[in-house]
Structure 1
Amino acid sequence: MKIHFIAIGGSAMHNLALALAQKGYEISGSDDAIFEPSFSRLKNHGILPKELGWYPDKITSDLDAIILGMHAHPDNPELKKAKEIGLKIYSYPEFIFEQTKNKTRVVIAGSHGKTTITSMILHVLKYHDKNVDYMVGAQLEGFDTMVKLTKENDFVLLEGDEYLSSPIDRRSKFLHYKPNIALLSGIAWDHINVFPTFDIYKQQFIEFVNSISDGGVLIYNEEDSEVLEVIEKTDKYIKKFPYKTPDFCIKNEKVYLQTHEGEVQLSIFGKHNLINLEGARLICNQLGIQDIEFYEAIMSFKGASRRLEKIYENENFLVFKDFAHAPSKVAATVQAVKENYKNRHLVACLELHTYSSLNPEFLNQYCGALDDADEAIVFYSQEAVEIKRLEPISEELIKKSFQNNKLKIFTDPKGLSNYLSSLNTTNTVFLMMSSGSYAGMDLDNIFKCK
């Protein structure tokens, strides 16, 4: 098949393009901006566009299909041409379903934890040489691409995102997948730009549960009240299995799981990661992995990229980088680090970068999110606010929203860099949380020079 990707440079889109190229498809694509690691990975596989921009002459009648990414706009000239000549146009999740409709689909959904849970499951399956197809949103150690589609594998593991499918398909991505086995990790309002109220956001998860195949399986976090409410509203004929935080203890900054198989030392920490682990265990049970096999494998799981990822350590201090940006994720991450390193000074630095986090109407959701830190810092770029065409944000509004008297606020990356460099690092943990890049600030240089 000949497939053309409109907006090939995205994290998920370029991984799908690589997977299809490896499958023998003829792949082409376009984008107006491609960053690392997408740029190098596409180049290494010979499918990097020769020039940036949109070129309608690439859209010809001999193409079998178009895959349309969210980065493109509804008036994209290549999309317009594809419509004019009647080509089949798929959103990313539509195409994934088309490729997997004859497989057993396992979908991991929730406002938080879905990437980590999917990554845990893949780690365990790989450890035990169990082959499945998959799609996950973060790079994992030992995996070349984060999308795998084959003819022979019976199971496919999908990270189920609630965000929109494409510029012309306003449905949540996970509503395309029609899972046979599903997991729901938690519900906390996010993506205010497309789900302006919590009720609208929550409705996506109600529809997701109702999209599970009749007789299918739903594994869910019983400690999340919003999840429980969604479960109670469905009359879908499915099997339901709840999970909760397992028993554990912390000894010498290491976490030990208390299991019926004995004490299991982990390479991860934090209650949010432990409850994610429990959900992953139940999914693995559904895939034929026994508990003793799960615990044997999970001991070596170190986490997904940018999920409490340790980026630097010496005898004085530690530095973690985390993707946390939504209020519930920020609070859980800060709490996890403080609990595990309770005898260290915790410096937590959050960049407000997403549309939701920079929206004045949403900011009060962060109330208390940084309270467990000994030193709390918020950084945001005025330029990012302007690019997203949002109302200006004042430091007073941020202080009022976080309700944290210790909060320090920076809008200049150089000022933040100088401040971090000036801090005493003795017995300290730095937690750097962002889905962005702190306006290009070089984290490695700051901490390696200390």
Structure 2
Amino acid sequence: MKVHFIAIGGSAMHNLAIALHKKGFNVTGSDDVLFEPSASRLGKYGILPAREGWFPEKITQDTDAVILGMHARIDNPELLKAQELGIKIYSYPDYIYEQSKDKTRVVIGGSHGKTTITSMILHVLQQAGKKFDYLVGAQLEGFETMVGLTNDAPVMIIEGDEYLASPIDRRPKFHIYKADIGVISGIAWDHINVFPTFDNYIDQFRIFAETIQPNGKLIYSETDEVLNKMVKSLDVAVDKIPYNLPQYTIDNGVTSIVDNGETYPLEVFGQHNLLNMQAARLVCNALGINSADFYRHITTFKGAARRLEVVGKNDNATIFKDFAHSPSKLTATIDAVKAQFPGRQLIACIELHTFSSLNKDFLNEYAGTMDKADKAIVFIDRKTFEQKKIEPYPAEAVKSAFANDRLLFFNQPAALLEYLESLDIANSNLLMMSSGNFGGINLMDIKNSLL
């Protein structure tokens, strides 16, 4: 098979390209800009484009399929050439379905926790010696790529994003996979630029549930009122399986699951992670792994990249980085750190970076989300406003939206770095949360300065 990737440099796209190359496909691709680590990883496998840019001549009659990334525009010259030649064009979720249509498909959806639940399932399946294919949204320890495809694995574990599939396919990705086992971790409004009302956003999860194949399973968090109401309204021929918090203890900074008289100490913590773990356990149960074996294997799970990842620590302070950026994720992450370390001060810093989080109409969704932090900091790189063509707003607007007069606001990376490096974090935790990179601040510099 000869497959060409338009916008090969994307996180999911370059991982799929590598997975198909490793499967024996003839893979080519193009992109107008290639960042690290995509460029190095593509280069390692000999599929890095020789030059940046779009080259319609790469699309020929012997091209079997084109995979179109979200980064490409609808007037992309390579896309136009593929359409002219009548070559089959897939979004990457379309192609994932194509590769997994004869397998049992497990699709993990939800506004939060998708990557962690998927990662937990993969970790346990790997520890149990099971064969599986996968698509996950973060780099995981023990996995070379974020996509794995084989001919003989009977099951595929898929992180199911609700964002759009491609510039010419406006369906949410998780509608395309046709899950046999579907998970919904919770529903909290996000992607306001695509789903302008909360009701419209909820509808996407209803449609996802309706795409689960007959006699399949829907595993969902009964702690989420919006999700509970939606599931109860569903008329689908699937087994609805709710989950809730397990029994657990926190002792000397270690969280343990207690199940059937056994205690299982964990390397991760927080009620959101305990809920994620129950979703993963129910999936693994459905795939033939009993609960005792699941808990035994999950004790060695260290978490996904940038999910409460430890940057550095000493005897009385820890610096964490986390991917949290939406209101629900922000609240869950702050709650987790406060509960795990009740005797320590919490200094929490969030970078608002996405279109939704920067939208003034959405900003009020953050009200109260940082109230449990002893010091609350919001950072918006002023260059982000320029790049996204959004009218900047002052500190007063941010404090009002967060309903927090104690909140500190920064819009220049240098000023934020200077403030952070001036802190005394003895008997404290510093929590740095963003889906971006804090305007290029190196968190290791902060670690070296404070610890």
Task: Measure, in 1, the Cα distance between the counterparts of 2:435 and 2:83.
Answer: 34
1:367 paired to 2:371 = no
After TM superposition, list the pairs within 5 Å mapping 1:143-154 onto structure 2.
Answer: 143-154=143-154
Task: Measure, in 2, the Cα distance between the counterparts of 1:400 and 1:32.
Answer: 40
Deviation readout 1:109-146 (Å, 9 max, x if unpaired): 10000110000000001111111111111110010111
Counterpart of 1:391, as a letter, is E
Task: Measure, in 1, the Cα distance between the counterparts of 2:236 and 2:386.
Answer: 45
1:396 paired to 2:361 = no
Aligned to 1:13: 13
After TM superposition, list the pairs within 5 Å mapping 1:58-69 onto structure 2.
Answer: 58-69=58-69
Deviation readout 1:149-186 (Å, 9 max, x if unpaired): 11111111101100000001000000001111111110
Aligned to 1:406: 406
Match of 2:165, SS state, is: strand
Per-residue deviation, 1:374 = 0.6
Match of 2:358, SS state, is: coil
Aligned to 2:349: 349
Aligned to 1:166: 166
Counterpart of 2:307, as a letter, is R
Task: Measure, in 2, the Cα distance between the counterparts of 1:171 and 1:289.
Answer: 33
Aligned to 2:266: 266
Task: Measure, in 2, the Cα distance between the counterparts of 1:252 and 1:405.
Answer: 33
Alpha carbons of structure 1 residues 294 and 58: separation in structure 2 relative to 1, 3 Å: same
Query: Identity percentage over the alignment?
Result: 55
Q: Is the 8 A contact 2:109 2:161 kept in 1?
A: yes
Q: Is the 8 A contact 2:311 2:443 kept in 1?
A: no
Task: Measure, in 2, the Cα distance between the counterparts of 1:318 and 1:151.
Answer: 44
Per-residue deviation, 1:148 = 1.0
Alpha carbons of structure 1 residues 252 and 13: separation in structure 2 relative to 1, 3 Å: same
Aligned to 1:425: 425
Aligned to 1:331: 331
Task: Measure, in 1, the Cα distance between the counterparts of 2:35 and 2:186.
Answer: 31
Match of 1:171, SS state, is: strand
Q: Is the 8 A contact 1:181 1:217 kept in 2?
A: yes
Aligned to 1:210: 210
Task: Measure, in 2, the Cα distance between the counterparts of 1:361 and 1:337.
Answer: 29
Q: Is the 8 A contact 1:358 1:393 kept in 2?
A: no
TM-score normalized by structure 1?
Answer: 0.99
Q: Is the 8 A contact 2:138 2:305 kept in 1?
A: yes
Task: Measure, in 2, the Cα distance between the counterparts of 1:391 and 1:205.
Answer: 32
Aligned to 2:128: 128
Per-residue deviation, 1:388 = 1.2
Task: Measure, in 1, the Cα distance between the counterparts of 2:34 and 2:229.
Answer: 41
Q: Is the 8 A contact 1:206 1:233 kept in 2?
A: no
Counterpart of 1:367, as a letter, is A
Match of 1:418, SS state, is: helix
TM-score normalized by structure 2?
Answer: 0.99
Stretches of 4+ aligned residues off by more than 3 angstroms: none
Match of 1:357, SS state, is: helix
Q: Is the 8 A contact 2:311 2:447 kept in 1?
A: no
Task: Measure, in 2, the Cα distance between the counterparts of 1:72 and 1:312.
Answer: 38
Deviation readout 1:299-319 (Å, 9 max, x if unpaired): 011100000111111234211
Task: Measure, in 2, the Cα distance between the counterparts of 1:145 and 1:101.
Answer: 21
Task: Measure, in 1, the Cα distance between the counterparts of 2:265 and 2:307.
Answer: 19
Counterpart of 1:400, as a letter, is S
Per-residue deviation, 1:261 = 4.3
Aligned to 2:250: 250
Match of 2:337, SS state, is: helix
Task: Measure, in 2, the Cα distance between the counterparts of 1:449 and 1:47.
Answer: 40
Task: Measure, in 1, the Cα distance between the counterparts of 2:85 and 2:167.
Answer: 19
Listed as ranges, the gaps of 5+ residues in structure 2 are none
Per-residue deviation, 1:277 = 0.4
Aligned to 1:289: 289
Aligned to 2:379: 379
Q: Is the 8 A contact 1:270 1:337 kept in 2?
A: yes
Structure 1 vs Structure 2 CA RMSD: 0.9
Task: Measure, in 2, the Cα distance between the counterparts of 1:9 and 1:316.
Answer: 41
Counterpart of 1:95, as a letter, is Y
Counterpart of 1:387, as a letter, is Q
Aligned to 1:442: 442
* Alignment: residue pair count: 450
Per-residue deviation, 1:57 = 1.5
Aligned to 1:275: 275
